[in-house]
Amino acid sequence: MLMLRVITATVLLAVLCIAIAMGPLAFAGVMAVAFGAALYEWLRMGGLGPVPAVLVAAVEMITQFSLYWAGALPRMEWFLFIIDGAVMLAWFAIFFTELAHRKNGFKVSVRTCLVSAVTFVPAAYLSLLYLYEIGDWVMVLSVLLIVWGADISAYFSGRAWGKHPMAPAISPKKTWEGALGAYVIVIVFFLLTYWFCIQKNVFTNFLFDELGFVWGVVVLAGLVALSIAGDLWESMLKRLVGIKDSSNLLPGHGGFFDRMDATLPVIPAATWIILSVVLAR
């Protein structure tokens, strides 16, 4: 299983690197496929049939890709600001709901599942393209590292010191100790990045330059919370429909939604933060 996971991850990394080397449209196209697959899996969890789910996902992602291909993104900053702000608030509401019902879980209606899918995934994809547009792959990677760093740190901190479950009815293996480890390690890592890396297109460098140390740390902690919210949200959906993985599209990893669940809330939030500074100038 470990070897299969490594092989799949290597292939995905190779495809991503080739897409980046080929240019913006290739990168946007590859990401459209990945986000479209995640949207398809999310819609299937909501009870939509395979054909309607494919059609909805295809229409959504082709529309977003076409906007990028047509060069509309620079003229959509206010639209993105409003949409990403609404999406970010919705994810925080989900996070607090998860914490409030951490011991008994909660129901998610079919309508809520489907509406959130067709809203959250396209917003994250369009926001990813905006990040790429203003800061190239470095900006995108620096945002994704927040999610990956939080996930890896929470896993190992939880394995080493985890005793108190964070949301036993939703995801029994996640602990408060793991979450605390994620906060501390991610914040320390990006503070060190800020001190030793001078690149302006690193998201956290932008964050600390524009907001200062205290507010930069607060915002970074909020982004870690959103990554946890996305992870718990998918765990709740899978628990409600009684499945282990969102699909088997990625051998050894499950589905695209499994790999992107914690990323979907963070990308729009990071984009909203950048836009709130850019549009205020």
Q: What is the pTM of this model?
A: 0.94
Domain ranges of the chain: 2-278
Residue 225, number of CB atoms within 10 A of its CB: 21
Best CA proximity match to 45, nearest among 223, 254, 228: 254
Query: Can you give the pLDDT at residue 1?
Result: 57
Q: What is the pLDDT of residue 41?
A: 95
What would the pLDDT profile of 194-222 be if each residue is shown by its tens digit?
999 888 899 999 999 999 999 999 999 99
DSSP state of 262: T
Asked if pLDDT for residue 5 goes beyond 80, the answer is no
- What is the per-residue pLDDT for 246? 86
- pLDDT tens, residue by residue, 42-62: 999 999 999 999 999 999 999
Q: What per-residue confidence (pLDDT) applies to 253? A: 73
Whether the pLDDT of residue 94 is over 90: the answer is yes
pLDDT of residue 2: 54
Span 174-199, pLDDT tens digits? 999 999 999 999 999 999 999 998 88
The secondary structure of residue 107, as a DSSP letter, is -
Q: Which of 102-106, 221-225, 230-234 has the lowest mean pLDDT?
A: 102-106
| Helix or strand (DSSP H, E) at 55 | helix 50-69
What would the DSSP string read from start to end of 160-176? Answer: HH--SEEETTTEEEEEH
> What are 57-83's pLDDT values in tens digits?
999 999 999 999 999 998 999 999 999
pLDDT at 281: 74
How large is the average pLDDT for residues 106-111?
A: 87
Residues contacting residue 268 through CB under 8 Å, at least 6 positions apart: 83, 84, 87, 88, 91, 120, 123, 124, 127
What confidence score (pLDDT) does residue 9 get? Answer: 76
Cα distance between residue 269 and residue 4, in whole Å: 33
Whole-number Å distance between alpha carbons of 156 and 151: 9
Average pLDDT over residues 227-256: 87
Of 23-32, 133-142, 243-252, the least confident: 243-252
User: Do 230 and 266 touch, CB atoms closer than 8 A?
Assistant: yes
